[in-house]
Amino acid sequence: MTPPKASTASPAYKSLLPEGAGQLLKLATPLPLDNGQALPDVTIAYESYGALNADKSNAILICHPLTADQFVASDHPVTGKPGWWATLIGPGKMIDTDTYFVICTNVLGGCMGSTGPSSVNPETGNPFALDFPVITLADMVRAQVAVIDALGIEMLHAVIGGSMGGMQVLEWAAGYGERVFAAAPIATAARHTPQNIAFHEVGRQAVMADPDWADGKYALTDQRPTKGLAVARMAAHVTYLSEQALNHKFGRDFQDRDAASFSFDADFKVESYLRHQGKSFVDRFDANSYLYITRAMDYFDLSRGEPLAARFVDTKTKFLLASFTSDWLYPTDESKRIVRALHGAGADVSFTEIESDKGHDAFLLDEPGFFDVLNGFVQSIGKARGLI
Amino acid sequence: MTPPKASTASPAYKSLLPEGAGQLLKLATPLPLDNGQALPDVTIAYESYGALNADKSNAILICHPLTADQFVASDHPVTGKPGWWATLIGPGKMIDTDTYFVICTNVLGGCMGSTGPSSVNPETGNPFALDFPVITLADMVRAQVAVIDALGIEMLHAVIGGSMGGMQVLEWAAGYGERVFAAAPIATAARHTPQNIAFHEVGRQAVMADPDWADGKYALTDQRPTKGLAVARMAAHVTYLSEQALNHKFGRDFQDRDAASFSFDADFKVESYLRHQGKSFVDRFDANSYLYITRAMDYFDLSRGEPLAARFVDTKTKFLLASFTSDWLYPTDESKRIVRALHGAGADVSFTEIESDKGHDAFLLDEPGFFDVLNGFVQSIGKARGLI
């Protein structure tokens, strides 16, 4: 296959993926969506590491969380920062790219090269904006299945991801279990709770309150809703950190001063940190993508109103679940709910709650307890299939 | 004393207190502030219920939380809703206004008649906006002390409040203990944690991101930053509710529809509820007051860097503390920290953690366990001073 370049037909199109960076795959057929439509001309951007072996049995799919992207093990083309799981993935690392072919796709609806709300709507020649269809986690995974098909891979050795990535892992295991040898949904949940929805709705309203959002059509203007998106990021970021982590990192310490300024400056370190998180986020993320992806997460309920175990009947996939004690976004109880369902379906499942004070973000950070557990799983499934 | 009317000198002045509603007291002398300034011409709006007895021994001061005001036991002049603690306070009620003289003041910095950022700056003839001094909880209480002085009350029978009201109760007990027979700080903390600060900073940034905020000078325009303030309210409101309460009240139920709309409408009940909370808030609250009062709360640290017990040395005040199991904004540990300090100071203190799934807002809701505990305290201190 010849990966097409991202379209640059319309001057209004502003993909955040720099021209020529990364790999792009144009899907051969329209993508069926949960809303009943079929989306034509879908492009999925992806990165891969290592080489696919002769019998195509060594492929590991990594699913990225909400605000990450396909640059999981290589430097980010916008920020220049190392891949978000570069500690785990690479030559000689836990997920050894001398052994495995690792692939990560930018989700459908994303802003790093995959088709999303900032892509050009062929009917108008302008970016879709809110004319882009509202998508679901299952839609995202359907796009990934098409990529895996295009690569000629029958069965994935493993699908691994944390947070929203874990939700995609669950959709893979529930919808395409016969193509998933092993699945590791980490720090995640099988549905969005009303509290999860509430925080996302705050973020969406912050974006939509920004006049520069222009009813979603900011690509046709010289502005982007950076202020609203920054506020959304700040609100979300608080949910990624535990109270303990905030106490350890910041406490009530002042930033660059000895006493209160009696002003609205960022007196406290935690304020300064949050403002920085908000400001830096807008350089690498698109506001409409943020709306669409958070919406997909809020719609996520793997059970579809039936007992959750019914989604895993006769599964042969080997599961690893891990949660973190201080994660209050997707707390351990949500993982336990999945584990109970998997047990109910007679699945091969291993579950560990990892002691950590780092909150939800622990799965992205240097957390040896998590590394040990994931490493054990990677070793075990590699041996089971004679790959190592 | 003759209560002056709120100033209407400038057409730009827009107090949210309707003309003629409530009682106003102009302080006789400038109010010393923690920032070193003295604020002249301070007016404090208040409501009172019942009558002060001959020896002025039956006064109970109620301190209001962040977004409430002095209308604690009477209908709100803007919303028409009953007073926020009208269930507890009134003739024949738990805090019986046939026996007690109950007073509640709108905090300094508020927007219901007390001097705050929307008051006229005598130096310019325009509303202060951000030229209003950044105030503290101690400043708010200093203004209340001036009111109590003006009423000729030597000792308050009790000071009672929840949340930010509880912080004022603590400032009273720590700073003016000899004038407080009994103190009930409910569902509160002796300092704002970095997580508390973080959520407030998100709200402030949401307000400031709204172009209609106009660097605080919106009173000089025809606009008010209603969108930004609504987002701030939504973000804060999530922290007032427990995850259990959200699950019970809303779950993943849809609002007025059977299935997902695949749009950005408020599909879920919890979204609809939050949007309503945001929209209705802006009718009764001022954006700059929100900035100033949240800032005061973030600055709040009763310990002032010393052991907390040092603030209560030799206290004779009788304390009741109560926390709620599902309150994650000011969780039980924060109350226990205060209780330990009070014990360390040899104080007379009673503490109860109340089983509730209603989250932080439990102190404002129909929570019989809380009513029982507070009633026991009110009865006990009333008998101790021969008032009942």
Model pLDDT for residues B101-134, shown as the tens digit of each residue: 999 999 999 999 999 999 999 899 999 999 999 9
Known catalytic residue: B301? no
Burial level of A347, CB count in 10 A (0-12/13-18/19+)?
buried
**CATH class of domain segment(s) A23-191+303-384:** alpha beta
The residues spanned by each domain of chain B are: 23-192+302-384, 195-296
Residue B365 confidence (pLDDT): 96
**Pairs from B193-196 (Cβ < 8 Å, separation ≥ 24):** B193/A243, B193/A246, B193/A247, B193/A252, B193/B334, B194/A243, B194/A246, B194/A247, B194/A249, B194/A250, B194/A251, B194/A252, B194/A268, B194/A269, B194/A270, B195/A238, B195/A241, B195/A243, B195/A246, B196/B297, B196/B298, B196/B329, B196/B330
Q: Which of B137, B253, B255, B271 is best to mutate for the A interface (most A CBs within 10 A)? A: B271
* d(C-alpha A77, C-alpha A19), whole Å: 10
B191 to A252: CB separation less than 8 angstroms, yes or no = yes
* d(C-alpha B170, C-alpha B176), whole Å: 10
B240 touches chain A (CB under 8 A): no
Domain B195-296 has CATH 3.30.70.20: no
For residue B78, the tally of other CB atoms under 10 A from its CB is: 16
Known catalytic residue: A327? yes
Asked if A184 contacts A320 with a C-beta cutoff of 8 angstroms, the reply is yes
B195 touches chain A (CB under 8 A): yes
Residues in chain B: 388
Catalytic residue selected from A119, A163, A289, A323: A163
B193 to A252: CB separation less than 8 angstroms, yes or no = yes
Known catalytic residue: A276? no
Residue A62's closest CA among A144, A174, A177?
A144
How many angstroms away from the CA of B52 is the closest CA of chain A?
Answer: 37
DSSP A363: G
Asked if B69 contacts B112 with a C-beta cutoff of 8 angstroms, the reply is yes
Q: Which of B130, B191, B197 is best to mutate for the A interface (most A CBs within 10 A)? A: B197
A129 touches chain B (CB under 8 A): no
DSSP B44: E
Catalytic residue selected from B64, B192, B200, B360: B360
B231 touches chain A (CB under 8 A): yes
A268 to B298: CB separation less than 8 angstroms, yes or no = yes
Same fold across B23-192+302-384 and B195-296: no
Q: Is B90 helix (H, G, I), strand (E, B) or coil?
A: strand
Q: Which residue has the tokens 């019914």?
A: A310
* d(C-alpha A354, C-alpha A279), whole Å: 32
Asked if A171 contacts A302 with a C-beta cutoff of 8 angstroms, the reply is yes
How many angstroms away from the CA of B133 is the closest CA of chain A?
Answer: 7
Please give the sequence-ordered ranges of beta strands (E in DSSP) within B82-173, or none if there are none: 89-90, 95-96, 101-105, 156-162
Phi, psi angles (nearest 5°) of residue B323: -125, 170
**Partner-chain residue, chosen from A34, A195, A202, that has the shortest CB–CB distance to B246:** A195
Catalytic residue selected from A15, A119, A360, A361: A360
Q: Which two tokens stand for residue A47?
A: 């990165």
* d(C-alpha A308, C-alpha A331), whole Å: 18
Residue B65's closest CA among B175, B201, B167, B135?
B167
The strand pair at B95-96 and B101-105 is best described as unpaired
Burial level of A126, CB count in 10 A (0-12/13-18/19+)?
middle
> Cα separations (Å) of B141 from B126, B135, B188, B194, B251?
26, 11, 16, 23, 40
B274 to A210: CB separation less than 8 angstroms, yes or no = no
Catalytic residue selected from B327, B335, B356, B361: B327
A35 touches chain B (CB under 8 A): yes
Identify the helix (H) or strand (E) that includes residue A321: strand A318-324
B258 touches chain A (CB under 8 A): no
Q: Which residues of A touch B298 (CB under 8 A)?
A: 268
CB pairs under 8 A between A and B: 148
Q: Which two tokens stand for residue A132?
A: 């882009």
DSSP A119: S
* d(C-alpha A291, C-alpha A131), whole Å: 13
Catalytic residue selected from B163, B242, B326, B356: B163
Q: How many helices (H) and strands (E) does chain B have?
A: 9, 12
A194 to B251: CB separation less than 8 angstroms, yes or no = yes
Q: Which of A136, A199, A205 is best to mutate for the B interface (most B CBs within 10 A)? A: A205
For residue B363, the tally of other CB atoms under 10 A from its CB is: 27
Phi, psi angles (nearest 5°) of residue B297: -65, -40
What torsion do the CA atoms of A235, A236, A238, A242 make, to the nearest 10 degrees? 160
A109 touches chain B (CB under 8 A): no
C-alpha count within 13 angstroms, C-beta hemisphere, residue B119: 25
Residue A345 confidence (pLDDT): 97
For the entire predicted model, the pTM comes to 0.95
* d(C-alpha B84, C-alpha B95), whole Å: 14
Architecture of the domain spanning B23-192+302-384:
3-Layer(aba) Sandwich (3.40)
How many angstroms away from the CA of A234 is the closest CA of chain B?
Answer: 6
Work out the end-to-end distance of chain B between its first and last CA atoms, rounded to an integer number of angstroms.
30
Q: Which residues of A touch B198 (CB under 8 A)?
A: 234, 238, 246, 270-271, 274
**Average pLDDT score over chain B:** 95
Which positions of chain A have pLDDT values less than 70? Answer: 1-14
How many angstroms away from the CA of A36 is the closest CA of chain B?
Answer: 10
Q: What does the pLDDT profile of chain B (388 residues) look like in tens digits?
A: 344 444 443 434 467 888 888 899 999 999 999 999 999 999 999 999 999 999 999 999 999 999 999 999 999 999 999 999 999 999 999 999 999 999 999 999 999 999 999 999 989 999 999 999 999 999 999 999 999 999 999 999 999 999 999 999 999 999 999 999 999 999 999 999 999 999 999 999 999 999 999 999 999 998 999 999 999 999 999 999 999 999 999 999 999 998 999 999 999 999 999 999 999 999 999 999 999 999 999 999 999 989 999 999 999 999 999 999 999 999 999 999 999 999 999 999 999 999 999 999 999 999 999 999 999 999 999 999 999 9
A246 touches chain B (CB under 8 A): yes
Residue A144 confidence (pLDDT): 98
Catalytic residue selected from A327, A335, A356, A361: A327
Residue A5 confidence (pLDDT): 42
Which residues neighbour A342 within 8 Å (Cβ) at sequence distance 6 or greater? Answer: A309, A312, A315, A319, A321, A349
Residue A19 confidence (pLDDT): 86
The strand pair at B43-49 and B348-354 is best described as unpaired
Residue A9 confidence (pLDDT): 39
A198 touches chain B (CB under 8 A): yes
Q: Is A298 helix (H, G, I), strand (E, B) or coil?
A: helix
Residue A20 confidence (pLDDT): 84
Q: Which residue has the tokens 């208040």?
A: B46
